[in-house]
Structure 1
Amino acid sequence: MTTDSDATDADGTADADLGVHLPVAAQPSLDDLVGVGVHAEALGYERAWLPETWGRDAVTTLALLAERTAEIGIGSSLLNVYSRSPALLGETAATLQEASGGRFRLGLGPSGPAVIEGWHGVDFDRPLRRTRESVEIVRQVLAGDVVRYDGDCFELDGFRLRCAPPETPPPIDVGGMGPKAVELAGRFADGWHALMCSPDGLQSRAEDLERGASLGDRSADDVRVTLVLPCAVSEGDGGDRAHELVTEHVAFYVGGMGTFYRDALVRQGYDAAHDAHVAWGAGDREHAVEIVRGFVDDLAVWGTPEAARAALDRFCAVGVVDEVAVALPRGATDDDVAATVDALAPRA
């Protein structure tokens, strides 16, 4: 976690690293999806992150990306802790670390009941405890130890990697939006993935991160903060299409992905997120999008290349952020993805 004093370089430009959150909906083929990461490497992005939703699985995709790149970091953002066991997550992390030559970063999170119960058929039980225990077990696996673990969610005895463990274990990040989830990241993880946060909201959650780090007897500066930031760029229309893309993207998560995103925004002072959630649930998605339009500028980057770059710099300058991951909206086409990744690439 950076501090306010080191949030900008001497010339006044924001110094947070730039990553890219690969799109999960737009690409017609696996080759096209991996190609976005390959292009991001050529443009100088720090890391290519891939979420796992209901399309191509993250592990296969990241393995291909590792094989086709040489320098860019790769990471999962995020794998849920219900659809894979902690032992398997440890195996996966070790394998991707080997495949990438030490460039992998494991991002984990509980997701939510809409995904875990509705899509995976697993009880969404004790999400924070399960996340903590998963992190602890994965660390044992990556150390090459015989795993003996007696927890509230998991009991393991005898598992051990059959191959040599990574010489350098990959860092483990945790995603979270609520105070206790962020505290958990500060206490047990190597990084925190912030989602659906305004600049002011990030500063507020930094207090939770610091509290967690203190409980873990360490400094919050040791916890890398990655902001997953919806971004879109369009030219020739004043940025109107980009505005629609990020607004519809945020509205979908607030309205259609359970209560966690809504609650995170209400905690940041956006009470209208509740109304958007209700409207979406009632089938009035146009009204939900219109409500979100009133506060989306605080949560996303959009516009012409010049306007979007200025907005991105504002988020990069937030003192608690170490990396901003340019996240492509779910409705973005191939052309939208290319325009955004090119326009917001790290400056030379």
Structure 2
Amino acid sequence: MTDTERDVFLPVAAQPSVDALVEQARTGEALGYDTAWLPETWGRDAVTTLTSIAHGTEDIDIGTSIMPVYSRSPALIGQTAATLQEVSEGRFRLGLGPSGPIVIENWHGADFGNPLRRTRETVDIVKQVLSGEELEYDGEYFDLQGFRLRCDPPETVPPVETAGMGPKAVELAGRFADGWHALMLTAEGIQDRLEDFNRGSEMGDRDRSEQRVNLSLTCCALDDAEEAKRLVKAHTCFYIGGMGTFYRDNLARQGHEDVANEVYDNWQEGDREAAMAAMPDDLLEDLAVWGTPEEARERFERFADIDGPDAVSVSFPRGADLEQIERTMDALAPN
């Protein structure tokens, strides 16, 4: 195995309480995970929850993955990053991304617009805010001037990372961000996108050694291997079939267009079982991790050995319960 870092993504599905999420982060810390990432969808907000996690942990890094760029102004995101860096005593990482039109338009009531441009401008502005300098920005979406943080900027500026699946989004991450959050990629697929990220890094004259690539994997390790596979497959098909076209297109770009379209079409027609049946086990194994604890560890190590990612993250199926999450976190822990 390589020296790739191992992170944990706290569950995207609704949890019983903020305290439960804090306890999961504490468990991740005790098990030796490097960073605990928290997604922000349409459940608990990331800022309040991460504040509680920051106060409830000591060593593990914490971060958003991802905080949507449409639901807050860039300046507010910068303020938030500065504050979370303060309350975590320097352990915060800011992960940003556009999310998708289903969430942004139907939940936040905002125009999805041009996600690449919006993400780039947000990253630029957040970095200006965190620098403590007076904000001056003339962009397509934002024209800002005359203000700076009225509190001291962070002594250690938190990394500003972005998520992306398409070639241009990943190139943008390399050019302007401090890292890239990758998901739903095969070993071959991530190599293609790494070429985009590295090209962007060169275009932006960035120090590639200071940028962090994180590959997120849906994982489930249970004594009942079939149940683990069912949970992982249902989660994967939900994203391909039910969360707009981005995940479908991402899978198609990796040479699996027929599967992607069949899963998507069946899901859209309401036939969840047919959608899951359309996802072959060998392709699922190239995208996710499941099985008994021993089988899941073996599958996970194959991803950890992929050349390119600096960190590989354990994330969980949306249908997993607390016991299954804890079992998986323990089975795949770095310690």
TM-score normalised by L of structure 1 = 0.94
**Pairing partner for 1:52 from 40, 47, 55:** 40
Give per-residue Cα distances to partners, 1:56-101, cap 9 Å, x unaligned. Answer: 1111111110001110000100001000000000000000000001
> Could you tell me how far apart the structure 1 residues matched to 2:69 and 2:318 are?
23
Residue in 2 aligned with 1:160? 148
Equivalent position of 2:190 in the other structure? 202
Report deviation, 1:243.
0.4
In structure 1, the residue matched to 2:227 is: 241
- Distance (Å, rounded) in 1 between the aligned partners of 2:131 and 2:80: 14
Q: CA deviation at 1:328?
A: 1.0
User: What is the aligned counterpart of 1:257 among 243, 254, 258?
Assistant: 243
Q: What is the Cα deviation at residue 25 of structure 1? A: 2.0
Contact 2:78 2:126 in 1 (8 A): yes
Of 287-296 and 262-271, the range deviating more from structure 2: 287-296
SS in 1 for 2:279: helix
Residue 220 of structure 1 deviates from its aligned partner by 3.4
Q: Which residue of 2 aligns with 1:43?
A: 31
User: Take 2:285 and 2:251, find their aligned partners in 1: how far apart are those partners?
Assistant: 13
Match of 1:19, SS state, is strand
Partner secondary structure for residue 149 of structure 2: coil
What letter matches 1:98 in structure 2? E
Aligned to 2:157, the other structure's residue is in SS state coil
* Matched-pair contact (CA < 8 Å) for 1:26–1:332: no
Name the structure 2 match of 1:115.
103
The answer for unaligned runs of 5 or more in structure 2 is none
Residues 162, 177 of structure 2: 8 Å contact kept? yes
1:170 corresponds in structure 2 to: 158
Q: Which residue of 2 aligns with 1:346?
A: 334
1:17 aligns with 2:5: yes
Unaligned runs of 5+ in 1: 1-12
Contact 2:14 / 2:43 at 8 angstroms: preserved in 1? no
Deviation track 1:162-211 (CA, whole Å, cap 9, x = no partner) reads: 11000011001000000000000000000000011111111111110111
- Pairing of 1:278-289 with structure 2 (within 5 A): 278-289=265-276
The answer to which structure, 1 or 2, has the higher relative contact order (CA under 8 A, 6+ apart) is 1
The amino acid of 1:247's aligned partner reads K
The answer as to 2:75 corresponding to 1:87 is yes
Distance 2:4 2:141 in 1: 37
Q: 1:192 aligns with which of 173, 176, 180?
A: 180
Match status 1:270 vs 2:256: yes
Q: Deviations over 1:245-264 (max 9, x none)?
A: 11000000000000000000
The one-character-per-residue Cα deviations of 1:214-265 (angstroms, maximum 9, x if unpaired) are 1112343332100111000111x3x111101110000000000000000001
Does the Cα contact within 8 Å between 1:209 and 1:220 map onto a contact in 2?
Answer: no
Aligned length: 333
**Which residue of the other structure, out of 303, 315, 318, is the alignment partner of 2:291?**
303
Contact 1:174 1:191 in 2 (8 A): yes
Matched residue SS, 1:54: coil
Shift in Å at residue 114 of structure 1?
0.8
SS in 2 for 1:166: coil
Q: Show the counterpart of 1:131.
A: 119
Q: Is the 8 A contact 1:51 1:58 kept in 2?
A: yes
Query: Structure 2 CA distance, aligned partners of 1:46 and 1:200?
Result: 25
Report what 2:92 is aligned to: 104
Would the aligned equivalents of 1:18 and 1:45 in 2 still touch at CA under 8 Å? yes
Kindly state the Cα deviation for residue 130 of structure 1 after the two structures are TM-superposed. Answer: 0.6
Output one character per residue of 1:17-57: Cα deviation in whole Å (capped at 9) or x when no partner: 11100013252111111110011101110000000011111
Give the 3-state SS of the residue equivalent to 1:146 in structure 2: coil
TM-score, structure 2 as length reference: 0.98
Q: SS of the counterpart of 2:106? A: coil
Once residues 322 and 291 of structure 2 are traced to their aligned partners in structure 1, the CA distance between those partners, rounded to angstroms, is: 17
Between the aligned residues of both structures, percent identity stands at 59
The answer to whether the 8 A contact 2:21-2:53 is kept is no
